[in-house]
Chains A and B, each alone.
Chain A
Amino acid sequence: MHDTVIAPGGTDLDVDVRNLTRVEGEGSLHLRVREGAVESARLEIFEAPRYFERLVVSRSMDEVIDIVARICGICPVAYQMTAVHAAEAAFGIEVDPATVALRRLLYCGEWIESHALHIYLLHLPDLLGYPSALDLAQHDRTTVEGGLRLKRAGNAIVARIGGRAIHPVSVRVGGFSRVIRRDEIRSLRADLVGALDLAEATIELVAGLRPPTFRREARLVALRDAATYPMNHGRIVSNDGLDIPATAWETMFEERQVAWSHALQATGRDGQPYLLGPSSRVTLDGDLLHPRAVAALERLDLGDQIAHEPNWSIAARAVELVHAIAEAIDIVDTYEPPERAIVPWTPRAGVAAWATEAPRGTLFQRFALDTNGHVETARIVPPTSQNQAAIEADLALFAPTILDRPKDEITHLLEQLIRSYDPCISCATHFLDVRVEDVS
């Protein structure tokens, strides 16, 4: 699966992490080392397949928007946004600029809640030396309270625009299910201003962290738009020169079945893994961040670490937290409701394809539509299934550098590395669990 990597100690080791904690969904890690060489590093995704690509067949795109939102409780907006943009592109719909702004704000809400959750409750305990969010809360209640306030600010946006915080229901092809009033949006402002202060404080907190050192060269992939930090649209670019329309995902990437995973694994058509998500976005699109986030990134001075050290993904996430909140405030301040909730549209046959930036990276969807605009076939490629091969490659590189450590420490460091990618196994269909067996 990977090139053999020789560990300095020449040991044999089987590492199996069952039920990895503080990741979304179910899966396990299996690492097999023989005479110091990493023979395999596998993320075994055993969460049951969920067949969403079949569930949407024969459905209208408005129904698809609601169905795909159910793929994930953490990033339902990403699935909705990708589907709605795909439909509107296929049907030739141009929505009101206010709708564009509202969708951007909705996406900001999801980024805020997802990033705040991961930073404060899932990743920070590792980097502050606590075994869990519970231990962190016991020792530093104020920090956890701040994280929860941030998450609440994101939840409030999604609930206000989407109708509810989990699995929102208001997104429709051509607009939203109703016109959202200006005062409804303005009422979000006070909490967002407070959240921006907390996000700035998060930058200072992250600046003081010292995560384990693991440096590698990775192929980084993200969307890039001409003028705005990528969320709802952009071209697919990479740090090795790729630059293609988002709709052309299938020309450069492919999915394949692997025996140890219920999720399809994506790689480039050259077979090489690639990494999506906040670190890729900040590296490839850092110049498009909100000025407040640019300043935060400059204060951190961690651009090189973000590009090369997965354990520093928390810094990228913190920068994006500042970005999402600052941009949300800008949208709130300038929002004027559209004249009508939905622009009229007519379905037609064709291919609806799009990609957006979910909190964990680029999400691609493609639907073949019949003359009624109903789905004939579907492809949904979540970020975690695309990151899975890159995570395995990084584990295979990282493991040999820590084989001289005690077994518990090896297990913890491997789990910590996996958590740094913020995998969403339920999305991928979704994955995690680490078993350590010393056979030397």
Chain B
Amino acid sequence: MTALLDVAPVARRPEIAETLEGVDVVRPTHVEVLACGALDRGDDGAAVMAVGRLADALPLDVRTRIVGQLDIDDLLTVPKGAGVVVADTALGVDPGWIVEIPFSGLAGREAGIRPRSSHALSIPETIAVASIIRGHPLPGIVVAIGGVDFGLGEALSWPVASAMDAFVLAIADAIGRVRTLVLAG
């Protein structure tokens, strides 16, 4: 889970999220989808569930991984030339609302986007340090859903459960756009 205190380049209600139509599933590219969170901690498991629901519908060159908490090493193992979609649950966003932030929009926002739970570095710091070590900026998008209940053994909260379809579509949409970006070089 991540705290988004200064959010919102893009914020939208779940019901107006885009669909999968138009996603190019033919052209070979590579995207890593990193699902953050844990299934047994209420809303913290939303991204893992959403990516799991998507997995069968994704092109073969899109790889999904459950990473628990985003670590620099997770980004260092992304193949060269690939893009990344990080799916996570966020605080600081109304429960059930979905936001997305391109990696390029994270620079300088370390103070507003800070770690919660057991993240030692914030997502912006993690991505920036990984980019420095990789030697080039990683193309990617963070897609997050606002959460409210994170207790061990809890189910998804009602606002998050009711927005899961839109969250799945938002992640799929981000995957499509990252692929396009990677293809465009």
A residues within 8 Å of B by Cβ?
19, 21-22, 24-26, 50, 52, 55, 67, 70, 72-74, 117, 121-122, 132-134, 137-138, 141, 144-145, 148, 151-152, 155, 164, 166-167, 426
Contacts and interface: CB of A to CB of B under 8 A. Distances in A.
Interface stretch (B10-18, B22-30, B128-136, B177-185): B128-136
Interface stretch (B49-57, B65-73, B78-86, B167-175): B65-73
A137 B132 contact: yes
Given A134-B110, A141-B132, 4 more contacts: A24-B118, A133-B129, A138-B132, A166-B118
Contact of A73 (B110, B117, B151): B117
Contacts of A148: 72-73, 76, 133
A73 B68 contact: yes
Contacts of A70: 38, 40-41, 152
Contacts of B72: 148
B152 A137 contact: no
Contacts of B116: 26
Contacts of B125: 132-134
Interface in B72-123: 72-73, 76, 110, 114, 116-121
Main DSSP-derived SS at the B contact region: loop
Given A132-B110, A133-B129, A166-B68, A67 B152 contact: yes
B153 interface: yes
16 contacts: A21-B114, A22-B120, A24-B118, A55-B152, A70-B40, A74-B120, A132-B110, A133-B121, A134-B128, A138-B132, A141-B133, A144-B133, A148-B76, A148-B133, A155-B73, A426-B117
B103 to A, nearest CB: 13
Contacts of A21: 114
B contact residues, range? 20 to 34
B152 A73 contact: no
Nearest to B152: A70
Contacts of A151: 73
A122 B121 CA distance: 8
B69 to A, nearest CB: 6
Contacts of A132: 110, 125
Q: 7 closest pairs, A vs B, by CB?
A: A73-B118, A166-B68, A137-B132, A137-B129, A134-B128, A134-B125, A70-B152
B136 to A, nearest CB: 13
Given A134-B110, A148-B76, A166-B68, A426 B132 contact: no
B69 A117 contact: no
B129 A144 contact: yes
A363 to B, nearest CB: 16
Interface in B142-185: 151-153
A121 B133 contact: no
A147 to B, nearest CB: 10
Interface string B1-44: 00000000000000000000000000000000000001011000
Nearest to A152: B73
Given A67-B152, A141-B133, A148-B72, A121 B114 contact: no
Given A26-B116, A132-B110, A134-B110, A166 B69 contact: yes
A55 B153 contact: yes
Contacts of B41: 70
Nearest to A19: B114
A22 to B, nearest CB: 7
Given A19-B114, A133-B129, A121 B152 contact: no
A74 B118 contact: yes
A186 B117 CA distance: 33
Contacts of A72: 118
B120 A122 contact: yes
A137 B132 CA distance: 7
A270 to B, nearest CB: 34
Most buried by B among A133, A141, A145: A133
Nearest to A26: B116
A80 to B, nearest CB: 15
A145 B72 CA distance: 10
Contacts of B128: 134, 137
B129 A426 contact: no
Contacts of B118: 24-25, 72-74, 166, 426
B138 to A, nearest CB: 14
A145 B120 contact: no
Nearest to B132: A137
Contact of A24 (B40, B76, B110, B120): B120
B140 to A, nearest CB: 17
B38 A167 contact: yes
Contacts of B69: 73, 166
A373 to B, nearest CB: 21
B120 A121 contact: yes
Contacts of A137: 128-129, 132-133
Contacts of B151: 50
A166 B132 CA distance: 25
Nearest to A131: B110
